[in-house]
Every structure is written in C-alpha cells, then in structure tokens.
Structure 1
Amino acid sequence: MGVFKAAAVQMRSGTSPERNAADMEALVRQAAGQGATYVQTPEMTGALVRDKEAGAAAFTTEDKDIVVATARRLAKELGIYLHIGSTAIRRADGKLANRAFLFSPDGSLIAGYDKIHMFDVDLDNGESWRESASYEPGTEAAVTDIEGTKLGFAVCYDLRFPQLFRAEAMAGAEVLTVPAAFTRQTGEAHWHVLLRARAIENGAYVVAAAQGGLHEDGRETFGHSLIVDPWGRVIAEAAHNEPGVIVAEFDPAQSLAARRKIPNLRNARDFAVNAGAGEAPRLRGAAS
C-alpha cells in the first residue's frame, strides 16, 4: 500500500443502531475528507446496550444489520478501507458475537474477527462486567492484506493479552488494531501504556478507535483514541472523550525499520517453564 493516511473515529454510541449508524457515517465522511484511506471505528459501533433484554431487541443478524450495510455502502462510495471496530451480531445459533468487519474500496468484505477475550471483571467502586454472559468468544486470530500492508485484528480487552498481538506480528502484521470501549476507570490507568507497549513489543503501528463519555445505558468510557507508531510514539490522539476523528500518516517501512533495530521477533526462542513439579510445558517466545 505504501505510505497512506489512517484515521480513528471516536464515538459515543447510544442504544439505537439507526442513530449510531448515522453518527458513524458523518464521522467516516469527515475522516475520508481529511485524506484517510483506512478508517477504523470503535468497539460496539452499532449500539452500547447494557440491559440484556434490550440488547436482544436491538441486535440482529449480519445480513440485516444497519451498521454493516452502511459501512459497505460508505467504503464503496468513498473508495476507502472501512474497518468497523465491532458491532454485536446475532449468529446462526442465536448467540451474539462481538464482531469486527473490514470492507474494501469496492464494498466487499475482506475479513471479519470475533473478539476472543471476554471482559469478565470486578473493578473498584462496585463496577462489574460479565461479557461472557451475552457474547460467544471467537476462537481465531485474523491477519489480512490491504494492498501489501498486513493488518491484525483485536478488540478492546484483547489488548491485555500480548500473545495475540505477538502471533499476529509473527504472521506479518505491520498494523495492529484495537478498537475499544475501555471503561473510564481502566482507561485512565492503563490505556496509553498498553497500546504503546503492544506497538513497541511488535514493531508495529497500533490504531485504537475508542468510545468516549457517558452513554445512554449508563456506562462511562475513556475516549482518547490513539495512533502509535512502531517505535512507540503517539502520533495522533483525541485528548478527550468527545466524538471526533484523528488522522496520521503510515509508512509500513517504519515497521521494518523498527524490527531491524530491535529484532525481538526474530530472536524469540522456545523455552520451558520450571514450575517445580511435574513436566515443564514447552513454550515459544513468540507466544509468551
């Protein structure tokens, strides 16, 4: 793909997929107007609905989903790669997937990815989440090629599992993606450092479009969409939690340059863990 402009769209999705699709369209058009040829939206672009029954009413199958249809149309009209960070999709078995989509400039679907790691946590001040109660986790990582640049997928809580990003980098990914709806509490503590770490560890660009602010369903997300270069430098940030767009120029050659300086992907070695009892498992540095 050579040098290109990438954009991260920051949103404050509510409970209506129709309203969110309209908001997404306006922001994607803004990003394309700034010259971006790859545009990423955040996790749960289609709707943030905490109540399980309300979510069941709001979410539908991929072929009927308004965000998917809108994204397909926009990608073709604007001639861009449009990455829907994720939206809730009802699978054939009736379960929900937290699913990402990447559309090509001709409107075709290039790749999809179902979030692997479920956000099942108990935070301070009584904040508790059980994503696995509503969503079926994915089982496969994904790396795809966009005009010679390889892009790896992740969603939100996946960020805390470096082995996913290492595996994608070992598969050639030069751009790692982390669309998210990080809570305000965890975002304030860890968002910047984790995104910069994933970039540094893998010598890759990281694009993280975020949800931000107080949402209709009562949750509060951190915002601060980020784009990080392969040396770990923040090259674009929405330094707030309001809806908006950030854009940065990508040169895939910078990923190769970073990996030549610090060749940790090439230097990874197999090793055993001595836990003091029983047979030690064999691990590979690339997945540790």
Structure 2
Amino acid sequence: MQIGIVQFTAGADIVDNLALARDKVQEAASRGARLIVLPEAASQAFDSGRLDKQAQELDGPYATGLGELARELGVTVVAGMFRPADTVERDGKTLNRVRNTALITGPDLHVAYDKIHTFDAFDYRESDTVRPGTELVTFEVEGVTVGVAICYDIRFPEQFRELARRGAQVIVVPTSWADGPEKLYQWRILTAARALDSTSWIVAAGQARPGGQEQAGQSSGPTGIGHSCVVGPTGRRESEAGYEPEIIVCDLDMGDVEKARRSLPVL
C-alpha cells in the first residue's frame, strides 16, 4: 500500500490551514499515495490562540473540505483537527474544551478518533483545554486494517498492542511533538518501540519545526519537531523527514507484518 506523509507547519487560521492541507494532499496523491496522513493540529497550530474559537464538527467546512477532496482523488486522508467538547472549571476559570481529533475521510468513510492520552507532562496540561477520548478506532484502506493514535498516545504501548489485536497492520500517528533536550531521541525510540510492541507499520506525521533547522533542539511547546517517519514491524526506520516541511511517499508491504508476527508472536 502506498502511503503519504505530509509534514508542514500549520498556522493560526483554519481557512488558511485547509488550503495548505488541500495543496499538500493533492501533491501526495499525484505521487501515488492512497493513504495520506497529516499532522496533529493540522486545522490550527497549538499556541496560536484559543482552540475552541475555531473548533468544528465533522460536518463543518474543514472536515467536509478535506472529505470532498479525498473523494475526488479517490484517497483516504487522516488529519488532525479540533471539535467542540464540553465546559469545565479550572482554577476559577470557565474553559470550553475541545476534542483533539484525527479526522479519517475518504470515498467510503468520514469518521473520527479522539486522542485518549492528553499531554499532561513537561509543565503542560492539555487536559485543561482538551477532553480525552475513550474509544479506539480502526478503518480499512484497500483491504488493510489501519489503527489510529495521536502524538502523546505513543508513550502508551497497550493502545498499540490492542489496535494490532483488533487487526491493525498499520497504525497512523498524527503528531505535534515538542522540541527540547532529548525530545528527538525519545521520539525515535518510542516510534520504533511501538512498531515492535504491535509488530505493525507505524506511519507518524508530524508538524514541521517552527523556525526550522535553526531552532532545532531548543525547548518549545508542542508545536512540532518534524521527523515524520515510517517504521517497519521489526522496528527498522524505513523513512524519516528532517525539521523542515516535507512530503514522504512510501510503499508498505503487508507481508512484512505477517512475517514479523509469525516469527515474533508477542500479541
């Protein structure tokens, strides 16, 4: 199966981000990709303003805009966005929380996965503004079962193992990873470990690093570190981007999953 990873830097405006996403999806499709994965927060970058102000449901302009393009191109697109969730009280403030969602849209589907593990770490509390999801999601592309996780989920191996038990041969991971000391090292280890835990293909699409290579390694919020990657079911890194915007197109052999699971039956 031909997959495409779109690594870019989203901005503050959902309309501009939709236009950028559409252009990049078209480019990946023109290079043969049938499953195209965009980053977490592709509809609005973290640290660019209140997420609830531009949050939309699956029938809103952002999701339907990508859905129409996916149907036109005959591809399946996975893209990070935010949906309205609930209202909570935090430290005397009333907050309108959102769902951190991976939109999954294509010729025969238009569904969502909501991030289960919110990023409450490194002095950041995503749960203040994001309501955690509760349900695992898989879907089919060209006869291949694909599971979904988002960013911080990758630190929780059982989610990936359970997706594999439910038939996932590929697990896509839209991401907006934070930069800082040891963060790239951790990202590389975690993506390889989750591939090994689940004996699945890991397809992780990240936000490019704001400021690019010049800012590399400096501490940041969860606004992107680049390094989108494809990791095989034996943990080998088959492809990896750098810090800058980039598109990766890669062919995934499901025979590799069958072989790995036969020789290493960890599930």
TM-score, length-normalised on structure 1? 0.81
Q: Whole-Å Cα distance in 1 between the matches of residues 35 and 186 of structure 2?
A: 26
- Show the counterpart of 2:217: none
Match of 1:196 in 2: 192
Q: What does residue 43 of structure 1 align with? A: 40
**What is the match of residue 103 of structure 2?**
101
Secondary structure (helix, strand or coil) at the match of 1:136 reads coil
2:26 to 16, 29, 37: 29
| Structure 1 equivalent of residue 255 of structure 2 | 253
Q: Is 1:58 equivalent to 2:60 in the alignment? A: no
Aligned to 1:285: none
Q: How many residues align?
A: 249
**In the aligned structure 2, how far is the partner of 1:189 from the partner of 1:250?**
24
Query: Is the 1:6–1:249 contact (alpha carbons within 8 Å) kept by the matching residues of 2?
Result: yes
Alpha-carbon distance between aligned partners in 1 of 2:57 and 2:75, rounded to the nearest angstrom: 24
SS in structure 1 opposite 2:167?
coil
| RMSD (CA atoms) | 1.8
Q: Distance in 2 between matches of 1:34 and 1:60?
A: 30
Kindly indicate whether the alpha-carbon contact (under 8 Å) linking 1:61 and 1:91 is maintained by their aligned counterparts in 2.
no
Task: Give 1:20-169 correspondences, 5 Å limit.
Answer: 20-50=17-47, 54-64=50-60, 66-84=61-79, 86-91=80-85, 95-106=97-108, 108-109=109-110, 111-122=111-122, 128-169=123-164
Give ranges in structure 1 of 5+ residues lacking alignment: 123-127, 266-288
Select between 201-210 and 143-152 the one with higher mean Cα deviation: 143-152
CA contact (8 A) 2:51 2:98 kept: no
1:256 deviates by 0.7
Letter aligned with residue 117 of structure 1? H
Q: Separation in 1 of the partners of 2:42 and 2:139?
A: 21
Secondary structure of the 1:6 match is strand
Q: Which has the larger radius of gyration?
A: 1
**Distance (Å, rounded) in 2 between the aligned partners of 1:79 and 1:187:** 36
1:233 aligns with 2:227: no
Aligned partner of 2:169 among 165, 169, 174: 174
Contact 1:36 1:247 in 2 (8 A): yes
Structure 1 position 255, deviation (Å): 0.5
1:25-70 superposed Cα distances (whole Å, 9 cap, x missing partner): 1111111011001100010110014266x33322233322x32122
